[in-house]
Amino acid sequence: MMKMFKKSRKGFTLVEIMIVVAIIGILISIAVPGFVKARNESRTKACQENLSKIEGAKEQWAMEKNIAAGTACTIASDLVGADSYLKKTPVCPENGTYDATTVGADSTCSIGGNHVLQ
């Protein structure tokens, strides 16, 4: 006599897999804008911190050298060096450049926008 065996099926159906993929897609679409915003805010804060360091170095340089307000200052030649006010030239996180301008004036970043000393 022939016996009929029930086949046991293990695994997920196509519908179940599609539902999981859809849920993952929804979660990603919610999370990605938050990550992008956090990254942009982090870059802005890093740029502001670099500008603050440049300002402090520029003020210290001007005080020690008795430089009057309005005198031109360059980051590379006046502020950066082994025994200077900055160990190395600050790098903008968005590939901009910093301008120390003159003594008594705020330093700026070429990116602009929110990248100003506050």
pLDDT digits (tens, 9 = 90+) for 78-112: 888 877 888 888 998 888 888 888 888 888 888 87
Distance separating alpha carbons of residues 43 and 111, to the nearest angstrom: 11
pLDDT digits (tens, 9 = 90+) for 17-30: 999 999 999 999 99
User: What is the domain partition of the chain in residue ranges?
Assistant: 16-109
pLDDT digits (tens, 9 = 90+) for 29-58: 999 999 999 999 999 899 999 999 999 998
pLDDT at 79: 87
Task: Give yes or no for a contact between 105 and 67, defined as CB atoms under 8 angstroms apart.
Answer: no
- Supply the pTM of this predicted model: 0.70
Q: What are phi and psi of 80, to 5 degrees?
A: -105, 135
